[in-house]
Amino acid sequence: MTALGDFSAGDVLTAADLNAIGDRLTWTPTWSGTTGGTPNVTTNRASYMIVNDVAIAFVNAYLASLGTATGTLRLSLPSGIDAVTSNRLVGTGAEVLTTSDTINVRGSSTTEADITYYTGASVLATSRVFSFMMAWEIG
């Protein structure tokens, strides 16, 4: 398929071209604490799609225990789908099991994102389920 956005006047689009727009791909994020350590996280779902130069992802994960993690929660982006810069990745969602609190997702580097409560507080606590969407410019 011609890359989305690379079509020219007169190109004939096939059903395969149209069906491939927004194909969802899956990945398994690596989870860590922002100041070190590894939490015990089960990724229930992590999928993303690329439309032109924008990646859009959905993540649902269960934070069972803190493990050795400190700081707040950090996850890796899909391999090779780096953000242009860390300040061009944003997202939002909620803790859906215990508190229903809003969470923010922000790029911490071109390959990772940090998750905090809307208040800026750490989300590291036992028995939490997070569902969120995030988007970032790729290039």
Q: CATH number of the domain that 37 lies in?
A: 2.60.40
Look at residue 4 in the predicted model and tell me its pLDDT.
60
Other CB atoms within 10 Å distance of the CB of residue 103: 23
DSSP 101: -
Identify whether 8 is part of a domain: no
**Can you give the pLDDT at residue 118?**
86
Overall domain count for the chain: 1
pLDDT tens-digit map of 115-128: 999 888 888 888 99
Could you say which residues of the chain have pLDDT below 50?
1
Edge-to-edge strand list for the sheet holding 102-107: 25-26, 40-51, 54-65, 128-137, 89-95, 102-107, 112-117, 73-76, 31-33
pTM equals 0.86
- Under a CB-based contact definition with an 8 Å cutoff, are residues 99 and 30 in contact? no
Is residue 15 one of the residues assigned to a domain? no
pLDDT of residue 108: 95
Which distant-in-sequence residues (6+ apart) come within 8 Å of 8 by Cβ?
A: none
Q: Identify whether 61 is part of a domain.
A: yes
Can you give the residue range of the structural domain that contains 129?
Answer: 25-137
Q: Is residue 67 part of a domain?
A: yes
